[in-house]
Amino acid sequence: MNCKRHVICIISLTLSLIVTGSCVSKKDYLLKVQEGEKVSEELLALRSEHDKLEGEKEALDKQVIDLQGARDDLEEARTQLQLKNLSLEKEIARLKEENLELENILEAKSDTLSKNIVDLRAHVADLKKENSLLKEENKDLSQNVDNFQDQIESLQSETETLERQREEEMEQMRGTYENLLEDMKSEIEKGEITITQLRGKLKVNMLDEILFDSGKTTIKPQGFEVLERVGSILLNVEDRAINIEGHTDNVPIGAELRKKYPTNWELSAARATNVARYLQEKTGINPSLLSATGYGEYQPVDSNETEEGRAKNRRIEIVLVPKEIAPVSRK
């Protein structure tokens, strides 16, 4: 604006000089011209500066617009930050509440853990004591194991010895069995005698009809002959018990015989006893090996519903068993 006023003033002065027609000297004129040129140069400079300032103004106006936009953005960002700040404050408040709850929970758990630690320490102490006791027991057990090992070795040695003895006894039993089979061949073929060998036992089963008359306990002559042959073979048996077992059928004792033998118990026992006495007295078998037992009708080998079955049930059994299980023998 100042530049415009200056130019207007110069133009106005020049025009005034021309219009007035005032007479001026050449020197004054030249001075005026020089002043005009100087003013023109200043005018050009002012115009250049004006254009430059106009450019700067436009740039500044643009910066102002940009700054206003940035300010608006900043205001928007500020609003968003305020909203976020409110949200964060709420979240912080919630987290504080949760933190307080967690602190309470942790405090309770800490108390529980402290108690558990105390209990565990006591338990560890008990375990240490128990471990010490177990070590002592283990030491004793180790000693027992050594003792047991010695006993096992001793028992193994005894077992081997017993096994050898058993084999020898079995061999002897086989010999006795074979001798009885050979010597009793006739009676076996007739079905009057059966001879079995099973599980270390040898059994001679004789129907009572070859030893006794019906209702009698006295051995008849045929029975003497049979028992003598059996006894001569059993005479060589020294390591076995010889059980004489009497058996009957279930037919009740007759009225006359009942005066002497009230039941089949007494009859079977008497017959078994007489056979044992004969084997001792007539064949010389060691009486310490002999025993006599009456089983009456209570261990039948066949049905008592038929005559044939009852005949099989009326019998004398001579059973050879190991000494340790005498005098009882089972079928």
The answer to whether residue 331 scores a pLDDT higher than 50 is: no
In the chain, domain spans: 1-16+24-121, 168-325
Return the amino acid letter for 217. Answer: T
Helix (H) or strand (E) holding 315: strand 315-322
Distance between start and end Cα atoms, the chain: 151
Q: pLDDT for 61-108, tens place per residue?
A: 888 898 888 888 888 888 888 888 888 888 888 888 888 888 888 788
The answer to whether residue 242 scores a pLDDT higher than 80 is: yes
Half-sphere exposure of residue 223, counting CA atoms within 13 Å on the CB side? Answer: 22
What are the backbone angles phi and psi of residue 219, rounded to the nearest 5°?
-70, 130
Q: Rounded to whole angstroms, how far apart are CA atoms 192 and 212?
A: 13
pTM to 2 decimals?
A: 0.49
Dump the DSSP string for 247-283. Answer: E--SPPPPHHHHTT-SSHHHHHHHHHHHHHHHHHHTT
The answer to whether residue 59 scores a pLDDT higher than 60 is: yes
* Non-local CB neighbours of 20 within 8 Å, separated by 6+ positions: none
CATH topology of domain 168-325: 60s Ribosomal Protein L30; Chain: A; (3.30.1330)
**Cis check: omega of the bond before 327, within 30 degrees of 0:** yes
Q: pLDDT for 2-34, tens place per residue?
A: 555 555 655 665 555 555 555 568 788 788 888
Q: pLDDT for 248-269, tens place per residue?
A: 999 999 888 899 999 999 999 9
Q: What is the dihedral of CA 5, 6, 9, 10, to 10 degrees?
A: -150
